[in-house]
A and B are shown apart, each in its own frame.
Chain A
Amino acid sequence: MTASLPDANALIDSLAATIAPAFDPDTLIVGIHTGGVWVAERLHALLRARHPVGQLDISFYRDDFSRIGLHPQVKPSSLPVDLEGRAILLVDDVLYTGRTIRAAMNELFDYGRPASIRLAVLIDRGGHELPVRPDYTGAALAVPAHRNINLSRLDDGHLTLSIA
């Protein structure tokens, strides 16, 4: 099954190409830990965005805290510029239920009131449980519910997709 997966780096290139025509360089690109940050960093370079990449760790906003507790490795969120009135491009590696995106939007609003939020994902694997749809998608892949699709980063910075 791994053999049929698209190349992550080529996918990011084509994702950037779909975002570029309407992209304002003043937009703040925000990646969701961990895979979303990797994709956001690549998009940032390809789109020549003005501000550094923002990072969100949504652990404090998860809706399953009361069932699974606190994630053992919470990273601080960091947003380099004020969100008030700003256009945001929110980036994640895989869109599945949509719960992560809901949590990320809740967190963003605790920093300020952005003018807009658009969502870019590398893979939309289906199985949405909330009314969340990406504005930009690298690829739509139907992945069975019992499988996980993962983005990982090799030591040389190369990104690869795998299914487990």
Chain B
Amino acid sequence: MNSQLTSDGRLHHLLTLDGLPRATLTQILDTAESFMDVGEREVKKVPLLRGKSIFNLFFEPSTRTRTTFEIAAKRLSADVVNLNIATSSQTKGEAILDTVDNLSAMHADMFIVRHSQSGAAHFISRHVAPHISVVNAGDGRHAHPTQGLLDMFTIRRYKGAFHNLTVAIVGDVLHSRVARSQIHALTTLGVPEVRVIGPKTLLPAGVEQMGVKVFHDMETGLRDCDVVIMLRLQNERMRGALLPSAQEYFKFFGLTPEKLARAKPDAIVMHPGPMNRGVEIDSEVADGPQSVILPQVTYGIAVRMAVMALLAGAANQ
């Protein structure tokens, strides 16, 4: 599992938060904190990764994640190349490893990988030369570690600590790589109560074994929460047998001001985006005073800078 750490415990790849020690998570969050002010300077750059080439390999479309990785890499002074492979050679049948080999031959230093198949980033990390680092930017239903980290960064910024929090994750946990990464990070960082709330059809069997409490209704699930994390409901789930309709879902699990009132008055509301307004979240909440959804996006840049800086630093040894 910890093929992502070097023999002396430093981060070489970032593939999953599962199994990463608390000290490593804290180091990433602390490093991100020191990158926060770079975005406010006259020159929004530090020269740390000058001369490094970072390839964004997106086998699955994404706008925000790819953009924030790109901005983060550029603020570290790296050269960034974006490849949306769904629209280029994959359709011509070029194998994933051939793509990686070709880009390695162009002296890549780091790959940021998003793929619809779980395990794609692991697969690439086992194949690349030792000086190359791989960051998982989302693989299938498995993991989205930088999203999980930026969520932890957001929680720490607003709540100060983890040891006294109740955090609820609401919605389609079954299909969510984001939820898995969040649960691993929250439990590792010592959050005493992590809840998942959703209809039975959208919660994975045996999710309790990840150290969470399961709720099937918002009224009890949100009670006295400090943090409410809403998950995106993939529209395609409606077409299957999992859900009756978007309206029905919103009625029971959509976050409205009335449901949010069950949580603590100072509870924050998070969402990894993109939001389905009127499906999992009411606009009044999404744009309301408790929403920290846009700060999450800003923090995502500093967190990705921290991950890339730490990986590049360890890979150089």
Tell me, in angstroms, the Cα distance from A74 to B30 when the chains sit together: 8
Q: Are B27 and A72 in contact (CB under 8 A)?
A: yes
| A 90-109 binary contact with B (CB < 8 Å = 1; else 0) | 00000000000000001101
User: Which chain B residues in 294-315 approach chain A with CB under 8 Å?
Assistant: 309-310, 312-314
Cβ contact within 8 Å between A111 and B42: yes
In the complex, the answer to whether A75 meets B34 with C-beta atoms within 8 Å is: yes
The distance in angstroms between the C-alpha atoms of A67 and B317, with both chains bound, is 6
Q: A65-B48, A70-B313 are in contact. Are A112 and B42 (CB under 8 A)?
A: yes
Chain B residues lying within 8 Å of A69, measured Cβ to Cβ, are: 10, 310, 312-314, 316-317
A67 touching B316, Cβ below 8 Å: yes
Q: Does B205 contact A (CB under 8 A)?
A: no
Are the C-beta atoms of A66 and B41 separated by less than 8 Å? Answer: no
* Residue of chain B at shortest CB distance from A66: B316
Chain A residues within an 8 Å CB radius of B48: 60-61, 65, 70
Verify A60–B316 contact, CB threshold 8 A: no
Question: Would A70 and B310 be within 8 Å (CB), given that A57-B34, A65-B48, A76-B36 are in contact?
Answer: yes
Give the residues from 33 to 61 in chain A that come closer than 8 angstroms, CB to CB, to chain B: 57, 59-61
B33 within 8 A of A: yes
CB pairs A–B below 8 angstroms (27 shown): A57-B34, A60-B34, A60-B35, A60-B46, A60-B47, A60-B48, A60-B309, A61-B46, A61-B47, A61-B48, A65-B48, A65-B312, A65-B316, A66-B316, A68-B313, A70-B31, A70-B48, A70-B310, A70-B313, A72-B27, A74-B30, A74-B31, A76-B34, A76-B36, A76-B37, A77-B37, A84-B42
Query: Main SS of the interface on chain B?
Result: helix
Q: Which chain B residues lie closer than 8 Å to A106 at the CB level?
A: 47
For B223, the chain A residues whose CB sits under 8 A away are: none
Q: Please tell me if B1 contacts chain A, counting CB pairs below 8 Å.
A: no
B45 at the interface (CB under 8 A from A): yes
- Say yes or no: A110-B309 contact (C-beta < 8 A), given A72-B27, A76-B33: no
User: Is B241 an interface position by the 8 A CB rule?
Assistant: no
Known: A60-B46, A70-B31, A76-B36. 10 other contacts (CB 8 A): A60-B34, A60-B38, A61-B47, A69-B310, A69-B312, A69-B313, A69-B316, A70-B310, A110-B45, A111-B41
CB B44 to nearest CB in A, in angstroms, measures 8
- Judged by a CB distance under 8 angstroms, whether B43 is at the interface is yes
Number of B residues, CB within 8 Å of A: 24
A78 contacts partner chain B, Cβ-Cβ < 8 Å: yes
With CB as the reference atom, state the residue of chain A lying closest to B314: A69
With contacts A60-B48, A110-B45, A112-B42 taken as known, whether A65 is within 8 angstroms of B34 at the C-beta atoms is no
Q: Which residues of B contact A75 (CB under 8 A)?
A: 34
Whole-angstrom distance from the CB of A43 to the nearest CB of chain B? 24
Of B34, B43, B314, the residue contacting A74 (CB under 8 A) is B34
The smallest beta-carbon distance between A27 and chain B, in angstroms, is 20
In the complex, residue of chain B having the shortest beta-carbon distance to the beta carbon of A70: B313
Residue of A nearest to B44 (CB): A110
How near does chain A come to B99, taking the closest CB pair, in angstroms?
26
Nearest-neighbor residue (CB-CB) of A110 within chain B? B43
> Which among A61, A65, A73, A110 is the interface contact of B41 at CB below 8 angstroms?
A110
Name the distance in Å between A61's Cβ and chain B's nearest Cβ. Answer: 6
C-alpha gap A110/B44 in the complex (Å) = 8
- Nearest 8 A/B pairs, CB to CB: A69-B313, A60-B46, A110-B43, A70-B313, A76-B34, A74-B34, A60-B48, A66-B316
Closest chain-A Cβ to B9's Cβ sits at a distance in Å of: 11
Q: What A residues does B314 contact at CB under 8 A?
A: 69
Question: For residue B45, which residues in chain A have a CB less than 8 angstroms away from its CB?
Answer: 110
Chain A residues with CB under 8 A of B41 = 110-111
Q: From the candidates B36, B37, B42, B313, name the one contacting A65 in the complex (CB within 8 A).
A: B313
- Provide the bound-state CA to CA distance between A61 and B33, in Å: 17
Closest to A78 in B: B37
CB distance from B245 to the nearest CB of A (A): 48
Query: In the complex, which of the residues A72, A78, A106, A109 has the most CB atoms of chain B within 10 Å of its own CB atom?
Result: A72
Residues of B within 8 A of A73 (CB): 30
Closest to B31 in A: A74
- For B43, the closest partner residue in chain A by CB is A110
Chain B nearest Cβ from A74, distance in angstroms: 4
